[in-house]
Amino acid sequence: TALRRGLERDEFRLVYQPIVDLETGRPLGVEALVRWHHPERGVVAPMTFIPLAEETGLIVPLGRWVLEEACRTGARWARGTDGQALGYLTVNISGRQLGQPDFVETVTAALAASGMPPAFLVLEITESAVVQQPELALTRLEALKALGVRLAIDDFGTGYSALSYLRQFPIDVLKIDKSFVGDVAEGGQPAALAAAIVALGDALSLRTVAEGVESAAQATVLAELGCPLAQGYHFGRPVDAATIAALLAGARAPAAGAEGEVCCAVA
C-alpha cells in the first residue's frame, strides 16, 4: 500500500553513478538507480522495496516511471547540453518488466517522448531474468535490439552463468558482479576469476564493466587484466542529476589536475 501510494505521491527519485574508462578515469556513461524518499522513513534503498515491487507487480508502473525519468534526463546528457556529452545511460530492468507484452512499446514511447537517441540507452538485465524464460527473453531482447537499444547482463557470475545464452543473446555489455571485485587486489583465486570473466567478455566482443570498485588497488589490477570500464565508490557514488550535470560542466573546461580527478569530484 505504501509503495502504491509512494508512486501516486511522486516519492521516487533517481540517482546516477558514473561508469568510467579504467585507463583515464573519465566518465563515459552513468547508471540510473532508484531511491524511495519515504515521508517518515527517509531514503529507502532499492534492495528493501524492489523485491516487494516485483512480487506485487508494482515494478511495472515503477519501472516505467524510472525509464521515462531516466530518458528525460539522459536526453540532455546525450546532447551535451550540460557540458561533456556522455556515451550512454543504463537502466535496470527486472524480469517481470521484460515479460510484459507491451515492454518494447514502453521503451519506444520513453525514447520518443524524451528525444533520447536509442543507442544512448543500455538496459541492464540480470542472468536470472533471462534464464527463467529464455525463449520469451530472446524474442524481447531481439525486439529491443531492433530499436537500436543496447543490452547489458548485470551481476554477471552470481546467477546461473548459462554461458550458451551469452552467445545466443544479443548482449553488448557484461557487468562483473562486485563479489568478484572485492578481493581482486589480493591476487590468487579472486583475481583469476575476474581475469577469466574479462577474457570471456573479450572473446565474445562484449564491453566489460567491473562493478563495486572501491580502491585504487582494485582499479589498477582490473586495468592490468584488460577490463575496459569500471564503476564504484572509488570513482564516484550515485548522486542526483544536478551533481552529474555539475561534473559534466566541469569536464567541459578541464581544470588543473589529473583527468581522473574530474571523475573523483563526485565521490
Residues of the shown chain interacting with ligand C2E in the complex, contacts defined by CB under 6 A = 17, 33-34, 45-47, 50, 63, 66, 92-94, 124, 154-155, 178, 211-214, 231-233, 238
Among Mg ion, ligand C2E, none, residue 68 binds (CB under 5-8 Å by kind): none
**In this structure, what C-alpha cell is assigned to residue 60?**
511495472
Taken as a whole, the chain contains a residue count of 267
- Location of C-alpha cell 573479450: 202
Is 127 among the residues that bind Mg ion (CB under 5 A)? no
Minimum distance between the CB of residue 34 and ligand C2E, rounded to whole angstroms?
4
DSSP 239-252: B-HHHHHHHHHHHH
Among ligand C2E, Mg ion, none, residue 17 binds (CB under 5-8 Å by kind): ligand C2E
**Closer by beta carbon to Mg ion, 239 or else 246:** 239
Is 17 among the residues that bind Mg ion (CB under 5 A)? no
Give me the long-range contacts of 166-173 (CB less than 8 A, separation at least 24): 166/200, 166/204, 166/206, 167/204, 168/138, 169/130, 169/137, 169/138, 169/141, 170/141, 170/142, 170/145, 171/141, 171/204, 171/206, 172/122, 172/206, 172/207, 173/90, 173/122, 173/206, 173/207, 173/208, 173/209
Pick out residues in 197-256 that bind Mg ion (CB under 5 A).
211
Is 124 among the residues that bind Mg ion (CB under 5 A)? yes
Pick out residues in 172-201 that bind Mg ion (CB under 5 A).
none
Closest CA to 167 of 123, 121, 200, 128: 200
Among ligand C2E, Mg ion, none, residue 73 binds (CB under 5-8 Å by kind): none
Size of the site for Mg ion (CB under 5 A): 5
**Closer by beta carbon to Mg ion, 124 or else 127:** 124
**Closer by beta carbon to ligand C2E, 33 or else 86:** 33
DSSP 132-181: HSHHHHHHHHHHHHHHT-EEEEEEETSS---HHHHHHS---EEEE-HHHH
Pick out residues in 135-164 that bind Mg ion (CB under 5 A).
154-155
Is 92 among the residues that bind Mg ion (CB under 5 A)? yes
**Closer by beta carbon to Mg ion, 21 or else 124:** 124
Which chain residues interact with Mg ion by CB under 5 A? 92, 124, 154-155, 211
